[in-house]
Chain A
């Protein structure tokens, strides 16, 4: 009787997660807790980092079976096996793997985005393009390091797009094995935009340039706003078909907003739908950062390199945006404040707020926010196009 009892108890202990825990699991749980701390206490992009880091925490508790990385490592992936044996996170991860969640999030972003400042000042599209140098500069850097494949380098480079859904979308297509670190780096740096950008912006501009007051934007008519998503969709997708999922959903969302005849749809897309999908996306992307991955030789080093390269991507994008802003300022005869160039990295609307804040430090009467929103939303289109080009070139 007593022996049976001891046997049963020891059996339970041996079958428990504690007995199966390795030091690597412990490290991953610790990392997850650090990110939870950053999200909850420091408020770094909490809407994303809370689900991401909790997904990471839950998936790294042994024997939980929420996520089974070996099912996803199979080549080719056996989707029937995933449906049969997969845990909860495996099933939710299908939406990431099949490229469903990021475009749906873009639909919501489209509803929330006002392209008015961009339409009234189309030149700001150029600033959005210039900031994409960050992506391609980082691609060069990652390839130069030598321990990344072409596809991995492209996925790391897209961190410079400062656009979470775009980064996740491209990474699942090109280098799904790096999804965890890339998503974490992308969202962490996006939260750090107010810390990373101002020193670069100040270093590259004079006080006089920062104090430039820009002309007021002309009002944009409703017809122009309605035509914008339609024209962008047709043009962009005809030129770069691989950017279609992101651009088409972004512009559909914007058409919902501007047409004004589908209030219910736009309300759903910008609230319920985007929130539901963000929960699924965050949880499962976090869950891909599993201890098994960390045990692969060289993965830790790669993760560190990704974090370093991500910072370079953001910094280069900011710098090229500001420098291009200076060039445009020079060409226009002093009418453009170069600070709005840094907003071209996307990270909507944080980067535009940073432009406003830095501008106001030099000239308290200056309001750059709406001017910076132009390059800011252009950056979203620019990074989606860059993702499409990378997918076409290295995919």
Chain B
């Protein structure tokens, strides 16, 4: 009887505490994001930067269609631009990123398999 009591109380407490934690995380995440969005709204600091980046940016190498930037943050754009600059060599100052578009997987399946193998050895 006592054994079942330990098991029951144990599981209920573990679940209760973790559920409570997850609720708290949700609540404070919401509060934090609301506060930060209010700050951004009033200060209007981030928006011009975003616009700037999306207007001046581009993918040079592949034939890419232009598309409005949706949810693509400046960091991702910077990373993509840096990767292109690095792979093309040179200073990178002659590259203009006009648009960034997600394209379907065109990589041969063996390349994907090889890449996955490699990633697994690094995990």
Known pairs A236-B17, A240-B17, A360-B120; list 11 more (Cβ under 8 Å): A118-B25, A119-B29, A125-B22, A136-B11, A221-B36, A235-B21, A353-B123, A356-B123, A357-B120, A390-B6, A393-B10
Contacts of A59 in B (CB 8 A): none
Q: A358-395: which residues lie under 8 A (CB-CB) from chain B?
A: 360, 364-365, 369, 378, 381-382, 385-386, 389-390, 393-394
Q: 1/0 contact trace for B1-15 toward A, CB 8 Å?
A: 011111101110111
Asked whether B82 is an interface residue with its Cβ less than 8 Å from the other chain, the reply is no
Q: How far is the CA of A132 from the CA of B13 in the complex (A)?
A: 11
23 contacts between A and B (CB under 8 A): A119-B25, A119-B29, A125-B21, A126-B22, A133-B11, A137-B7, A139-B7, A150-B3, A223-B32, A231-B25, A235-B17, A240-B17, A360-B120, A364-B113, A364-B116, A378-B18, A385-B13, A385-B14, A386-B14, A389-B13, A393-B5, A393-B9, A394-B6
Q: For the complex, would chain A's binding face be called helix, strand, loop or mixed by DSSP majority?
A: helix
Asked whether A43 is an interface residue with its Cβ less than 8 Å from the other chain, the reply is no
- Residues of A within 8 Å of B, CB-based: how many? 46
Q: B9-60: which residues lie under 8 A (CB-CB) from chain A?
A: 9-11, 13-26, 28-29, 32-33, 36
Asked whether A292 is an interface residue with its Cβ less than 8 Å from the other chain, the reply is no
Asked whether A7 is an interface residue with its Cβ less than 8 Å from the other chain, the reply is no
**Which of B4, B21, B109, B116 has the most chain A CB within a 10 Å cutoff?**
B21
Q: From A119, which residue of chain B is reached at the shortest CB distance? A: B25
Contacts of A390 in B (CB 8 A): 6, 10
Asked whether A123 is an interface residue with its Cβ less than 8 Å from the other chain, the reply is yes
Q: Contact between A360 and B123 (Cβ–Cβ < 8 Å)? A: no
Asked whether B105 is an interface residue with its Cβ less than 8 Å from the other chain, the reply is yes
* Partner of A126 from B7, B10, B19, B36 at Cβ < 8 Å: B19
Asked whether B72 is an interface residue with its Cβ less than 8 Å from the other chain, the reply is no
Q: Contact between A365 and B105 (Cβ–Cβ < 8 Å)? A: yes
Q: Contact between B24 and A382 (Cβ–Cβ < 8 Å)? A: no
Q: How far is the CA of A378 from the CA of B22 in the complex (A)?
A: 10
Asked whether A224 is an interface residue with its Cβ less than 8 Å from the other chain, the reply is yes
Q: How far is the CA of A385 from the CA of B6 in the complex (A)?
A: 14
Q: Count the A-B residue pairs with Cβ separation under 8 angstroms: how many?
A: 110
Asked whether A143 is an interface residue with its Cβ less than 8 Å from the other chain, the reply is yes
* Partner of A385 from B18, B24, B36, B116 at Cβ < 8 Å: B18
- Residues of B within 8 Å of A, CB-based: how many? 35
Asked whether A63 is an interface residue with its Cβ less than 8 Å from the other chain, the reply is no
Q: Contact between B18 and A143 (Cβ–Cβ < 8 Å)? A: no
Asked whether B112 is an interface residue with its Cβ less than 8 Å from the other chain, the reply is yes
Residues of B within 8 A of A (CB): 2-7, 9-11, 13-26, 28-29, 32-33, 36, 105, 109, 112-113, 116, 120, 123
Contacts of A132 in B (CB 8 A): 10-11, 14
* Partner of A139 from B6, B18, B36 at Cβ < 8 Å: B6
Q: Contact between A129 and B116 (Cβ–Cβ < 8 Å)? A: no
Contacts of A36 in B (CB 8 A): none
Asked whether A239 is an interface residue with its Cβ less than 8 Å from the other chain, the reply is yes
Q: Kindly provide the distance from the CB of B108 to the nearest chain A CB, expressed in whole angstroms.
A: 12
Contacts of B33 in A (CB 8 A): 221
Asked whether A214 is an interface residue with its Cβ less than 8 Å from the other chain, the reply is no
Asked whether A232 is an interface residue with its Cβ less than 8 Å from the other chain, the reply is yes
Q: 1/0 contact trace for A201-238 toward B, CB 8 Å?
A: 00000000000000000001101100110011001100
Q: A95-153: which residues lie under 8 A (CB-CB) from chain B?
A: 118-119, 122-123, 125-126, 128-129, 132-133, 135-137, 139-140, 143, 150
Contacts of A394 in B (CB 8 A): 6
Taking A360-B116, A364-B116 as contacts, is the C-beta distance between A239 and B18 under 8 angstroms?
no
7 closest Cβ contacts across the A-B interface?
A: A122-B22, A122-B25, A129-B18, A125-B22, A125-B18, A136-B7, A143-B3
Q: From A353, which residue of chain B is reached at the shortest CB distance? A: B123
Q: From B2, which residue of chain A is reached at the shortest CB distance? A: A150
Q: Contact between B7 and A140 (Cβ–Cβ < 8 Å)? A: yes
Contacts of A133 in B (CB 8 A): 11
**Which of A126, A369, A393 has the most chain B CB within a 10 Å cutoff?**
A393
Q: Kindly provide the distance from the CB of A354 to the nearest chain B CB, expressed in whole angstroms.
A: 10
Taking A360-B116, A364-B112, A385-B14 as contacts, is the C-beta distance between A223 and B36 under 8 angstroms?
yes
Contacts of A378 in B (CB 8 A): 18
Q: How far is the CA of A136 from the CA of B3 in the complex (A)?
A: 10
Contacts of A365 in B (CB 8 A): 105, 112
Q: Kindly provide the distance from the CB of A376 to the nearest chain B CB, expressed in whole angstroms.
A: 13
Q: Kindly provide the distance from the CB of A309 to the nearest chain B CB, expressed in whole angstroms.
A: 14
Contacts of A137 in B (CB 8 A): 7
* Partner of B6 from A123, A126, A223, A393 at Cβ < 8 Å: A393
Contacts of A136 in B (CB 8 A): 6-7, 10-11
Q: From A142, which residue of chain B is reached at the shortest CB distance? A: B3
